[in-house]
Amino acid sequence: MILQVPFDLNTENAFVEGQLCFRDGTIYTDADSLPPVSLPLHTVDKLVQRGGIGCGTLEAERKDGTVVRVCRFSMACVEGIGEFAKAINYYLETGRESEIKPEDINICPKCGRRMFKGMSICFHCVDTRQIWGRFFRMMRRERVLLITSAVLMILYNGIQAIVPKINQWLLDSVLKAGTDVHPVIEFLGRTIAPGWTAAQALTFACLGMMLCYVLGQVILPFSVQAANLITLRSSHRLRQEVYDKIQRFSLPAFEKRTAGDLIKRVTDDTDRISTFMSDMGRACLEKSFMLVMVGAILFTTNWQLALCVVLPVPLSLIIQRRFWGYMHTFFEKAWQTERRETGLLRDILKGIRVVKTFGTEAREVGKFTSAAAAVRDQTRRIEIFWALINPITRFSVIVADVLVMYFGGRAVLAGTMTTGTLLLFILYSAYMYEPLRWMARLPRDVSRCTTSLIKLYEVLDEKQAMYESETPVAPALDGSISFDNVQFGYKSYEPVLKHISLEIQPGEMIGLVGHSGAGKSTMINLVMRLYDADLGAVRFNGVDAKQIDYAYLRENIGAVFQETFLFAGTVMENITYAKPTATAEEVIRAARLANAHEFVMKLPDGYNTVVGEDGHNLSGGERQRIAIARAILKDPKILILDEATSALDPETEGKIQEALERLVKNRTTIAIAHRLSTLRHADRLVVLDKGEIAECGTHRELLQRKGIYYGLVMAQRTMQQARSKKQEA
Amino acid sequence: MTQTRQDVHFCRNANGFLSAEIDGVSYDRVQLTRALPLTQPGAYIQIADMEGKELAIIEDLSALERAERALAEEELALRYFYPEVTKVHSMKEKLGSYYCKLQCGKVEKTIAIRDVSKNIKQLSGGRIMITDTEGNRFLIPDTKRIEKRSMRMIEPFLY
């Protein structure tokens, strides 16, 4: 076995570059500036990782009782060192070898940087070409609309671009006949209007201009509509894909990311991408078409003057670039101060009872006033900045105008150019700036969209962390469960459960007891196969849970938790959530058994009453009974009760207890309860302590052992006695 | 735990780790924790056993005898790590994250910061805390003492 992970601190809190290695039966460190540590494995009892604040230390406890500091590391290396310690300790315990892969410790295999939380793509090394390749493939799905939209947009712009031409013709051929004109115009004049009078030609030109305008306005809505359709369709499609994928995530994949982050990816990121897609597809063609067409006209007409139009552009871009940083800063600050203001307001209103209780209204008003003043000052600063910056950014346009006017005017005076051509230049140079400005903005938009694309593809590419058998089996389950030397931890280097071995008979009720953090809920998560055991196996009817078809296993497990979440919908829909095909009769029977029927009948719309976020508010006990009805309706072989009655008053608890007793019959049940009296019907109690099974037996057996369980029972008894004494007093 | 003054002495145990004697009871190995690590790092230091159970609180480290105080400070330095930034070389944006080249004493370090508005924070007393994606926290101890050029790079992200 060869292991190697980096560490990065010395004992003086300075960064170093070091490697912690295991090779040829020796644990050793290798860092150029540090004295090396070398520990033959046979002298080591175990490795202990000690966490500090922002750093940690790896220590080795040796067989002779001495303890040695192996290395120190910052947060960057925590996971790697943890995996190392785990692998070594596992090897010391069992003699089995393991290896550490870069993806286990969330380090980019390419640059060695730690990857962002919840991401499996390194932002630093990501191949943007590949990302954009995928984007363009995605874009192809909308190609018909994209082309339509682009063609319409080009048509619109083409028509708009005719207007300056008409102007030129008007000025040169109609209003001042006789001077030399542009050959195209002359040709147009000869073919369209041979022998027209100047007045007739003027009317014709004005009508032509009007027609251009009307045509443009007719085409524009269609083009915009097509673009909107692209945005809507692609965003719908993307959202559907992402949401579909998220629904199929395993629980660990969910836990890597926050709900807010996922919501953002489904809404904001897909939005940004599809907007960009429609904008890109259309604008890219349209703007470049405009640039090329207008550029061609200008340069063929008079290339010197065309240069005057184009030359100030780089200047404008440089100025924009230079000020962009400041602008960004200003806006960011404004946004921050506004956020602080609203945050403060939300805080105060939410905690208004606290404010009133402590009589601190004046202080809070003061705080808010200063936050509001900050917003005012920042906004004013932005206004002043805008007023200053606007003339500067427009400077290049003005420079171009002046240059064109000066050199063009001289040419007109010298008689080498017509007034109409000069007008043409002035009008067309305005057409040049819009595409150029768009191009200046492009890098920023591209960068933003890339970020969104990466986040999106990352979700779409998420490999399910859970092992899925290629040939899943669906054995007949009778409710027998066995834990075979199971070890599991949410974090690889912190096993929550260790050496768990337990045989549960069909129909048996097991009570899980222990301090909080002892691993009770984790054990239940393993039974429900929300996670897989790191080592050992959980078996149902002798079959490893990993081999059993995921959906099939879930069908056979029902659960009632401390808090029941009701979806927005009717009581009926919430009860049938587990079995959508259930008849009304079945539902009512289940509700009766769950002691829920009585209160449901008192609701205004009975089983059709809408509950959930915007619906009728049910109490904790009522929700709990709905959950029990769900479980009864599902009729599972295995039932899990996780603190099902802990949040309730004694009377309701009695009712629910009664309902649960009906539910538990003839099923394998695993129940967690802090209040030990609720577990009195359990066939066996399993006491967990620091992730291991400390005691196991019936209530009576455990009391006689006078161990942990005895201590817990006694503690609760004294507490109850104290409470009843208080009530008597 | 009691706030009454306790008689605390530090020494090293056989393995070289910190050991304490509190009111005549000796503990082979203890760990120290700051109650106010950011505002008063030298005051209210908790002494706990290796299970994390509090044994005593030292109100002020400077009240300790010099050698013992050195021991305690050494232990604290091993447990707390906020590298101090002496210079900011550059700050570059790529795909929404910032890559910041910092000087931390003798070492130059490039860190990645995501969500800059959250991860670059102004604390009281002119200090700035920068949290990178790896979870390390870098501290600029005094905005007035760091050179202007460095401040200009950080400034846009403060409010």
Query: What is the arithmetic mean of pLDDT over A605-631?
Result: 84
Looking at CA atoms only, how far is residue A353 from chain B in angstroms?
28
What does the pLDDT read at residue A572? 92
Judgement on whether residues B68 and B96 belong to the same structural domain of the protein: no
Nearest CA in chain B to A15: B107
Q: HSE on the CB side for A334, CA within 13 Å?
A: 15
What DSSP letter does each residue of A316-330 carry, written as one string? HHHHHHHHHHHHHHH
CA-based nearest residue to B106, from A75, A15, A35, A71: A15
Q: Which of B79, B98, B130 is the last residue of a domain?
A: B79
Taking contacts as CB-CB distances below 8 angstroms, the residues of chain B near A12 are 77
Judgement on whether residues B63 and B30 belong to the same structural domain of the protein: yes
In this structure, are residues A595 and A659 in contact, taking their beta carbons and an 8 Å threshold? yes
pLDDT of residue A64 exceeding 80, the answer is: yes
Q: Which of B20, B50, B79 is the last residue of a domain?
A: B79
Query: What is the arithmetic mean of pLDDT over A316-331?
Result: 71
In this structure, are residues B107 and A15 in contact, taking their beta carbons and an 8 Å threshold? yes
Judgement on whether residues B63 and B12 belong to the same structural domain of the protein: yes
Q: At what angle do helices A620-634 and A650-664 cross, to 10 degrees?
A: 0
Looking at CA atoms only, how far is residue B75 from chain A in angstroms?
10
Taking contacts as CB-CB distances below 8 angstroms, the residues of chain B near A67 are 15, 17
DSSP annotation of B85: P
Domain assignment present for B26: yes
Q: Are strands B30-34 and A509-513 parallel, antiparallel or unpaired?
A: unpaired
pLDDT tens digits, residue range A352-362?
888 888 888 89
Do the chains contact at A123 and B106, CB–CB below 8 Å? Answer: no
DSSP annotation of A495: -
| Number of domains comprising chain B | 2
Residues 6+ apart with CB under 8 A from A724: none
What does the pLDDT read at residue B19? 92
Judgement on whether residues B32 and B72 belong to the same structural domain of the protein: yes
Nearest CA in chain A to B114: A116
Nearest CA in chain B to A11: B78
Contacts by residues B152-156 (CB-CB < 8 Å, ≥ 24 positions apart): B153/B88, B153/B90, B153/B91, B153/B100, B154/B88, B154/B91, B154/B120, B154/B128, B154/B130, B155/A329, B156/A325, B156/A328, B156/A329, B156/A332, B156/A333
Q: Which of B40, B63, B79 is the last residue of a domain?
A: B79
Do the chains contact at B37 and A53, CB–CB below 8 Å? Answer: yes
Across the interface, of B107, B114, B157, the residue whose CB is closest to A14 is B107
pLDDT tens digits, residue range A367-405?
899 989 988 998 888 888 878 777 776 777 788 888 888
pLDDT-based confidence at A179, cuts 50/70/90? Answer: very low
Judgement on whether residues B71 and B95 belong to the same structural domain of the protein: no
Judgement on whether residues B103 and B133 belong to the same structural domain of the protein: yes
Place of tokens 């008063």: B40
What does the pLDDT read at residue A71? 92
What does the pLDDT read at residue A493? 54
Judgement on whether residues B94 and B147 belong to the same structural domain of the protein: yes
pLDDT tens digits, residue range A552-591?
888 889 888 887 888 888 999 999 988 888 899 999 999 9
What is each CA distance from A516 to A59, A304, A500, A684, A685, in whole angstroms?
Answer: 28, 82, 17, 20, 16
The number of angstroms, rounded, from the C-alpha of B157 to the middle of its chain's C-alpha atoms is 23
Query: What is the arithmetic mean of pLDDT over A213-218?
Result: 89
- Please give the Cα distance from A245 to A155 (Å, whole number): 40
What does the pLDDT read at residue A511? 92
- Please give the Cα distance from A586 to A259 (Å, whole number): 35
- Please give the Cα distance from A537 to A500 (Å, whole number): 10
Task: Print burial letters for A488-524: b (CB count within 10 Å at least 16), e (below 16).
Answer: bbeebbebbbbebebebeebbbbbbbbeeebbbbbbb
φ/ψ of residue A225, rounded to 5: -60, -45
Residue B131 contacts A, CB cutoff 8 Å? no
φ/ψ of residue B135, rounded to 5: 100, 0
Judgement on whether residues B95 and B45 belong to the same structural domain of the protein: no
Do the chains contact at A14 and B136, CB–CB below 8 Å? Answer: no
In this structure, are residues B85 and B91 in contact, taking their beta carbons and an 8 Å threshold? no
Domain assignment present for B149: yes
What does the pLDDT read at residue A464? 60
Residues 6+ apart with CB under 8 A from A75: A54, A55, B134, B135, B136
Do the chains contact at A74 and B136, CB–CB below 8 Å? Answer: yes
Residue A188 in tokens:
């147009």
Lowest mean pLDDT: which of A320-329, B86-95, B128-137? A320-329
Across the interface, of A11, A75, A128, the residue whose CB is closest to B136 is A75
Domain assignment present for B117: yes
Query: What is the arithmetic mean of pLDDT over B132-142?
Result: 87
For chain A, list residues whose CB is within 8 angstroms of any CB belonging to chain B: 9, 11-15, 52-55, 57, 66-69, 72, 74-76, 78, 113-117, 123-124, 126, 128, 325, 328-329, 332-333, 336-337, 340, 447-448, 450-451, 454
Q: At what angle do helices A198-247 and A270-301 cross, to 10 degrees?
A: 150
What does the pLDDT read at residue B18? 92
Place of tokens 């404008």: A316
In this structure, are residues A21 and A28 in contact, taking their beta carbons and an 8 Å threshold? yes
Query: What is the arithmetic mean of pLDDT over A649-665?
Result: 78
Nearest CA in chain B to A454: B95
Domain assignment present for B65: yes
In this structure, are residues A8 and A17 in contact, taking their beta carbons and an 8 Å threshold? yes
Domain assignment present for B3: no
**One-letter amino acid identity for A153?**
M
What does the pLDDT read at residue B1? 44
How many helices (H) and strands (E) would you count in chain B? 3, 12
pLDDT of residue A282 exceeding 80, the answer is: no
Across the interface, of B78, B99, B109, the residue whose CB is closest to A11 is B78
Contacts by residues A182-190 (CB-CB < 8 Å, ≥ 24 positions apart): A182/A301, A182/A418, A182/A420, A182/A421, A185/A420
CA-based nearest residue to A593, from A560, A622, A625: A625
- Please give the Cα distance from A697 to A74 (Å, whole number): 45
Percent of chain A with pLDDT over 70: 90
In this structure, are residues A322 and B148 in contact, taking their beta carbons and an 8 Å threshold? no
| Reported ipTM | 0.89
- Please give the Cα distance from B66 to A630 (Å, whole number): 68
Q: Which domain holds residue B116?
A: 87-157
Do the chains contact at B157 and A332, CB–CB below 8 Å? Answer: yes
Place of tokens 């090897």: A91
Judgement on whether residues B98 and B73 belong to the same structural domain of the protein: no
Q: Which residue has the higher pLDDT, A60 or A199?
A: A60
Residue A642 in tokens:
């996780």
- Please give the Cα distance from A305 to A183 (Å, whole number): 18
Judgement on whether residues B72 and B96 belong to the same structural domain of the protein: no
Nearest CA in chain B to A106: B134
- Please give the Cα distance from A374 to A386 (Å, whole number): 18
How many helices (H) and strands (E) would you count in chain A? 23, 19
Can you list the domains of chain A with their CATH numbers? Answer: 3-105 (2.30.29.30), 476-555+672-729 (3.40.50.300)
What DSSP letter does each residue of A577-646 carry, written as one string? GG-TT--HHHHHHHHHHTT-HHHHHHSTTGGG-EESTTSBPPPHHHHHHHHHHHHHHH--SEEEEESTTT
Domain assignment present for B2: no
- Dihedral, CA of residue A239, residue A240, residue A243 and residue A247, to nearest 10: 180
pLDDT of residue B3 exceeding 50, the answer is: no
DSSP annotation of A56: E
Do the chains contact at A67 and B82, CB–CB below 8 Å? Answer: no
Judgement on whether residues B23 and B74 belong to the same structural domain of the protein: yes
Judgement on whether residues B70 and B104 belong to the same structural domain of the protein: no
- Please give the Cα distance from B99 to B119 (Å, whole number): 13
Lowest mean pLDDT: which of A409-413, A677-681, A695-699? A677-681
Looking at CA atoms only, how far is residue A296 from chain B in angstroms?
36
